[in-house]
């Protein structure tokens, strides 16, 4: 097997005779398997670097189709509060019950409850809204190994592209509730905070629930302030709480009173376009 020299940190041979094995060649079968798997993950294909021009055009049309499907499905959902959180909590978990309670209380404010449409925290928030006779919406993501939409939705749409899904979750929302979760929840939380901080969107309320779970995260954000990487006023962008009444009062003050419950444009359904309001 051919070998290559071991290099030190400055790129010089570490010692005479020191070698590392060359990486094994990739077989044609492995290449085909990777291609098949990538075909199920259009995001991977999209960000894989330059393609042939017709391929790039095809990818752009795929993104446009995703947006159009999302716009059509969510056109009549009304002002939403989006609840983010882990898909892994079961219905007997305290965080599931907390999200279920939040979903019910949000809908009593007059908002539609929107989630990522999957299980766990998302299901709990949708379930709470549905049981309180409110409107419950899901914006799901198509993955090769998970996830189907939960059964507590009045309307849902399943997207191919993660970034399109995130745009839609932000587009229709007047506030955000962050429940305990993993990488995806962190991504959504800081996406919302970045858009608000940079004034790309208005000053929508962000409520983070689960103070014990998010304790280290809160300390990290406080360290950002100490290190001057964020401004003092940025600390006011987040309401940290475990209290449902406190969270609802914050949403009432920062969302319902600030923006009202009517959009600037109230859409009318079109029979010609096959539209149907909720």
The DSSP line for 112-154 is: EEEE-SSSTHHHHHHHHHHHTT--EEEEEE--SS--PPPS--S
Task: Specify the higher pLDDT residue, 89 or 14.
Answer: 89
Q: pLDDT of 128-165, one tens digit each?
A: 999 999 999 999 988 766 567 899 999 999 998 889 99
Query: Quick check: 178 and 207 in contact, CB under 8 A?
Result: yes
How confident is the model at residue 42, as a pLDDT? Answer: 66
The per-residue pLDDT of the chain, averaged, comes to 86
What percent of the chain stands above pLDDT 90?
64
- Among 236, 215, 246, which residue's Cα sits nearest to residue 101? 246
Domain total of the chain: 1
Average pLDDT over residues 235-260: 91
Is residue 212 in a domain?
yes
Is residue 73 in a domain?
yes
Is residue 135 in a domain?
yes
3-state secondary structure string, 47-96? CCCCCCHHHHHHHHHHHHHHHHHHHHHHCCCCCEEEEECCCCCCCCCHHH
Is residue 14 in a domain?
no
Is residue 113 in a domain?
yes
How confident is the model at residue 28, as a pLDDT? Answer: 76
Query: Quick check: 207 and 258 in contact, CB under 8 A?
Result: no
Inter-CA distances, 103 with 26, 135, 215, Å: 50, 10, 23
How confident is the model at residue 7, as a pLDDT? Answer: 55
How confident is the model at residue 23, as a pLDDT? Answer: 66
Q: Residue 1: pLDDT above 70?
A: no
267: confidence class by pLDDT, cuts 50, 70, 90: confident
Minimum mean pLDDT range among 123-132, 224-233, 268-277: 268-277
13: confidence class by pLDDT, cuts 50, 70, 90: low
Q: Residue 256: pLDDT above 70?
A: yes
Average pLDDT over residues 56-72: 92
Q: How many Cβ atoms sit within 10 Å of the Cβ of residue 175? A: 27
How confident is the model at residue 20, as a pLDDT? Answer: 60
Report the relative pairing of strands 19-21 and 3-5 from DSSP bridges: antiparallel
Q: Residue 262: pLDDT above 70?
A: no
Q: Which domain holds residue 118?
A: 66-255
The packing angle between helices 94-108 and 244-251, to 10°, is 40
Answer whether the bond into residue 147 is a cis peptide, omega within 30°: yes
Q: How many alpha carbons fall within 13 Å on the CB side of residue 39?
A: 6
Q: Residue 91: pLDDT above 70?
A: yes
Task: Specify the higher pLDDT residue, 202 or 190.
Answer: 190
Q: Residue 44: pLDDT above 90?
A: no
Task: Specify the higher pLDDT residue, 21 or 12.
Answer: 21
Task: Specify the higher pLDDT residue, 34 or 185.
Answer: 185
How confident is the model at residue 6, as a pLDDT? Answer: 52
51: confidence class by pLDDT, cuts 50, 70, 90: confident
Is residue 125 in a domain?
yes
Q: How many Cβ atoms sit within 10 Å of the Cβ of residue 234? A: 15
Query: Quick check: 150 and 123 in contact, CB under 8 A?
Result: yes
How confident is the model at residue 184, as a pLDDT? Answer: 92
86: domain CATH number is 3.40.50.450
- Among 75, 42, 38, which residue's Cα sits nearest to residue 60? 42
Query: Quick check: 257 and 109 in contact, CB under 8 A?
Result: no
Average pLDDT over residues 178-184: 96
4: confidence class by pLDDT, cuts 50, 70, 90: low
CA 51 to chain centre: 27
Is residue 49 in a domain?
no
Is residue 40 in a domain?
no
Q: How many alpha carbons fall within 13 Å on the CB side of residue 275?
A: 17
Residue for token digits 């978990």? 93
Task: Specify the higher pLDDT residue, 8 or 163.
Answer: 163
């Amino acid at each position: 097997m051919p070998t290559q020299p071991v290099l030190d940190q400055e790129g010089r041979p570490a010692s005479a005779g020191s070698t590392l094995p060359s990486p094994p060649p990739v077989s044609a079968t492995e290449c085909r398997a990777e291609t098949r798997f990538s075909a199920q993950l259009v995001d991977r294909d999209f960000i894989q670097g330059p393609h042939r021009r017709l391929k790039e055009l095809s990818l752009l049309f795929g993104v446009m189709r995703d947006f159009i499907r999302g716009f059509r499905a969510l056109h009549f959902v009304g002002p939403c509060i989006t609840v983010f959180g882990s898909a892994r909590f079961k219905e007997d978990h305290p965080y599931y019950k907390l999200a279920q309670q939040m979903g019910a209380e949000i809908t009593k404010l007059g908002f539609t409850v929107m989630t990522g449409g999957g299980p766990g925290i998302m299901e709990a928030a949708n379930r709470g809204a549905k049981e309180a006779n409110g409107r419950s919406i899901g914006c799901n993501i198509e993955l090769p190994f998970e996830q189907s939409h939960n059964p507590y939705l009045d309307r849902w749409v399943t997207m191919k592209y993660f970034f399109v899904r995130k745009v839609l979750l932000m587009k229709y929302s007047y506030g955000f509730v962050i429940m305990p979760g993993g990488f995806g929840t962190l991504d959504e939380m800081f996406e919302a905070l970045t858009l608000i901080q940079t004034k790309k969107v208005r000053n929508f309320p962000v409520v983070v629930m689960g103070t014990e779970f998010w304790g280290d995260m809160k300390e990290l954000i406080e360290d950002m302030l100490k290190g001057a990487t964020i401004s003092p006023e940025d600390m006011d962008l987040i309401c940290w709480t475990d209290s449902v009444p406190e969270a609802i009062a914050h949403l009432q003050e920062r969302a319902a009173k600030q923006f009202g419950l009517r959009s600037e444009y109230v859409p009318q359904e079109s029979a010609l376009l096959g539209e149907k309001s909720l």
